[in-house]
Structure 1
Amino acid sequence: MPQASGNIALKLKASHLSLASQRFHGEGYQDGYAEGNRIGVTEGRIYGSLHGARIGSEVGCYLGFALTWQHLLHNCTGEKHSKKLKALESLVGMIQKFPYEDPTYDKLQEDLEKIRGKFKQVCSMLNTHPDFRIGLERSVLTF
């Protein structure tokens, strides 16, 4: 009989080891998941800030460009200038309606593409070829 109680004790120890192993595995998984989630949120914020800054810089350049040309053409007369001013007003209006504060806006990319298209149209009408280069060191606008 002493051997039977030894087997039971051995089985209990193995059972306790198995339960402890499962518990540690579960706790390790939860800790790892929480740490990965924290790192993911941090990386997401960094990426979102960078991407948002790029979009803001791009759209800001378009707005500055359009407002400058509106000012330059303000006193000009004629149908050609009237069409240019209308296109510039349209571009400014699109930019002013752009939802800067809402990154979850479902048509953000679509509206940004429309602004880019209108900007290209305006550049063509004005016979200008601006080159926006947004880099890490500085922004450059050339004509």
Structure 2
Amino acid sequence: MDYDLDEIVNLEQRFYDAGHKDGFAHGRIHGLIEGRALGREKGFELWEEIGYYEGTANFWKTVKQSSSNDRESRALVHANQLLHLISRFPRHNPTPSEEPLSDGESSQDSALDISKSLAQIRSRYRAMCASLGVKPRLLSTDKVEPDQSSSSIDAPDLAVKTTADPVWRVDQPAKKPPNIGSMSF
């Protein structure tokens, strides 16, 4: 009997290569599915935050437009600038072929910097809140941890943390006040 010694020696490597090829193809499919789901979730969170800033700026712009106070006119300028930054924020994720290139500009120069734009929007929002004397809220209410005190600000983006429910539910009955007669002071 003739045995091919090279085939016997490389048997383990052949099975390894076949398994790697199948696993890579399988992982690519699941990676695309998970990546799209994660992108959808993070995109929704991002636009929830941007929408909150836009709604706040529109509200304060409407309220303060008729005012002649210098402090309030400064808040109006911040609100207008915030709305301008939000209007320039990209509404879709362009592919590299969709990005326009001007003369002498590389594709890396024209790449959208989402984190830089978001940081500018957040800082303009904080400036608007400071000029109004309002505490900025940079976390959505479902992300606020209930076990921290309201005075602790330890997030890098100055998120205000609260211990109570920030909004009363309309679809549930109001909580009854405690019975004062049973308390002793």
TM category (shorter chain) comes to 0.7 to 0.9
Any stretches of 5+ residues in structure 1 without a counterpart? 1-5
What is the aligned partner in structure 2 of residue 97 from structure 1? 88
Unaligned runs of 5+ in 2: 96-110, 144-164, 168-185
**Counterpart pick for 1:133 among 137, 140, 151:** 140
Once the two structures are TM-superposed, the CA of residue 73 in structure 1 deviates from its matched residue by 1.0
Between structures 1 and 2, the one with greater helix share? 1
Map of 2:78 onto structure 1: 87
Q: Quick check: 53-62 or 26-35, which moved more?
A: 26-35
Shift of 1:134: 4.1
Identity of aligned residues (%): 26
Greater percentage in strand: 1
1:78 to 66, 69, 73: 69
Q: More deviation in 103-112 or 118-127? A: 103-112
Structure 2 residue 98 is matched with structure 1 residue 107: no
Q: 3-state SS of the aligned residue for 2:140? A: strand
Question: Runs (4+) of structure 1 moved beyond 6 Å?
Answer: none
| TM-score, normalising length: structure 2 | 0.60
Instruction: Report the counterpart of residue 118 of structure 1 in structure 2.
Output: 124
1:54 aligns with 2:25: no
**Structure 1 length as normaliser, TM-score?**
0.76
Q: Root-mean-square deviation (CA), in Å?
A: 2.5
Deviates further, 39-48 or 92-101: 39-48
Matched residue, 1:38: 29
Structure of higher RCO (CA pairs closer than 8 Å, 6+ residues apart): 1
Figure out how many residues of one structure are paired with residues of the other and give that number: 130
Task: Report the CA distance between 1:20 and its aligned residue.
Answer: 6.2
Q: What are the Cα deviations for residues 1-49 of structure 1, in whole angstroms up to 9, with x where unaligned?
A: xxxxx4xx2x24x555556655443322211110111111222112211
Distance in 1 between residues matched to 2:64 and 2:92, nearest whole Å:
31
